[in-house]
């Protein structure tokens, strides 16, 4: 199963600066790609998309590498 968190503001802890309007592609419970939201539709294929610019969809994701 593929899911895209679209139009997110992403803060990467490795390079801690804000990346606005970002999409996170998740497949089988793992992050497969982080890309601009405008490219998410072509990369996601049949993915379920969560979030949009027209709706206020707040979500937070904490990802740990350990």
Question: Is residue 58 one of the residues assigned to a domain?
Answer: no
Question: Is residue 59 one of the residues assigned to a domain?
Answer: no
pLDDT (tens digit per residue) in 12-59: 778 878 888 889 888 898 888 889 988 887 776 788 888 766 555 555
Question: Is residue 66 one of the residues assigned to a domain?
Answer: no
Name the strand (E) or helix (H) holding 39: none
Domain that holds residue 25: 2-50
Question: Is residue 64 one of the residues assigned to a domain?
Answer: no
62, HSE (Cβ side, Cα atoms, 13 Å): 1
**pTM (two decimals):** 0.71
User: Does residue 65 carry a pLDDT above 60?
Assistant: no
What confidence score (pLDDT) does residue 40 get? 80
Question: Is residue 60 one of the residues assigned to a domain?
Answer: no
What confidence score (pLDDT) does residue 63 get? 56
Spatial separation of the C-alpha atoms in residues 12 and 43, rounded to whole Å: 21
| Chain position carrying tokens 């405008």 | 38
């Amino acid at each position: 199963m593929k899911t895209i968190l679209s139009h997110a503001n992403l803060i990467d802890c490795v390079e801690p600066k804000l990346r606005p309007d970002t999409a996170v592609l998740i497949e089988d419970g793992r992050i497969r790609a982080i890309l601009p939201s405008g490219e998410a539709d072509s990369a996601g294929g049949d993915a379920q998309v969560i979030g949009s610019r027209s709706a206020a969809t707040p979500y937070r994701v904490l990802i740990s590498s350990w």
